[in-house]
Amino acid sequence: MRASTRVQPKPPSRPRKPSSRTASPAAAPARKAPRQIRSRATVDAIVDAAARVLRQDGYDGTTTNRVAEVAGVSVGSLYQYFPNKEALVRELLERHDRAMWTVFTDQSTCAIGRPFAEAVPAVIDALFAAHLVDPQLHQVLHQQIPRVGALALLHATSVRSRAVVEGLLQARTEEHQRGDDVPTAALVVVESVEALIHASIALPPAQANAVQRHASELVLGYLGVARPGT
């Protein structure tokens, strides 16, 4: 006779404030892919502005309104392309990591075939070089971004460069002395080198260079590889 229909619109009907984290902000819908040329430019302007603001004001000083302002667009436009602040930062992070990764692979791949005592420093230098893509931004991204929360970030470059080092060590076990525990060795190498890189960012150029040289020696000594010149 009558439809037992019940209007049951999605309970909250519309999460006014997705709480910037209502459900799983990480899974927030990628909102919209810019199709026209104009919108692509807008997206770039926004991401660039985000980088600028992040560099200058740090993570806490970065507000979506400020980013939009610096980008020369309205907040509305920002939210047209990024469902929330986190998604914006994630996009920036991904771009940054992509750039770093490009530099790293460009410089390291050619070195892998060379003798171990040369390959290792080459890889380490490549890692140093990758961090020079945008050291200021890198610092903010890696030191200030909430390690907690939905984006307990990917640090793609770290992870992937560890994989590269692990592969290298695994493939040539007879050329070094850490074959008994390669995963730990890779961790030790990458973590210490990264620490030295981050430390050197804040150093005057001269000492930064010294640190970079020492980084190679640190690793070679650890791996039990005779240094080239010795």
Partner DNA sequence: GATGAATGAGTTTTCATTCAT
Partner DNA sequence: TATGAATGAAAACTCATTCAT
Which residues here bind DNA, judged by CB under 7 A?
Answer: 12, 14-21, 25, 32, 34-36, 38-39, 41-42, 60-65, 72-77, 79-80, 83-86
Shortest distance, CB of residue 152 to its own copies, whole angstroms? Answer: 9
Could you say which residues in the range 3-32 bind its own copies, by CB under 8 A? 3-22, 25
Shortest distance, CB of residue 93 to DNA, whole angstroms? Answer: 16
Q: Tell me if 74 contacts its own copies by CB under 8 A.
A: no
Please provide the DSSP assignment of 114-158 as one string: S-HHHHHHHHHHHHHHHHTSSHHHHHIIIIIS-SSSS-----HHH
Q: Which residues contact 88 (CB under 8 A, 6 or more apart)?
A: 46, 47, 50, 64, 67, 78, 82
Shortest distance, CB of residue 95 to DNA, whole angstroms? Answer: 18
Q: Which is nearer to its own copies, 21 or 160 (CB)?
A: 21
Shortest distance, CB of residue 154 to DNA, whole angstroms? Answer: 19
Helix (H, G, I), strand (E, B) or coil at 4: coil
Q: Tell me if 151 contacts its own copies by CB under 8 A.
A: no
The option from its own copies, DNA, none interacting with 36 (CB < 5 to 8 A, set by class) reads: DNA
Any idea how long the chain is? 230
**How far is CA 171 from each of CA 19, 113, 179, 229, rounded to the nearest angstrom?**
48, 11, 10, 24
Looking at 38, 60, 174, 229, which residue binds its own copies (CB under 8 A)?
Answer: 60
Structure tokens at 189: 């190498």
Burial of 65 (0-12, 13-18, 19+ CB in 10 A): exposed
Looking at 56, 74, 102, 170, which residue binds its own copies (CB under 8 A)?
Answer: 56
Structure tokens at 26: 């990480």
Q: Tell me if 210 contacts its own copies by CB under 8 A.
A: yes
Shortest distance, CB of residue 17 to DNA, whole angstroms? Answer: 4
Q: Which residues contact 223 (CB under 8 A, 6 or more apart)?
A: 116, 120, 169, 176, 177, 178, 185, 189
The option from its own copies, DNA, none interacting with 79 (CB < 5 to 8 A, set by class) reads: DNA
Shortest distance, CB of residue 91 to its own copies, whole angstroms? Answer: 20
Q: Which is nearer to DNA, 71 or 185 (CB)?
A: 71
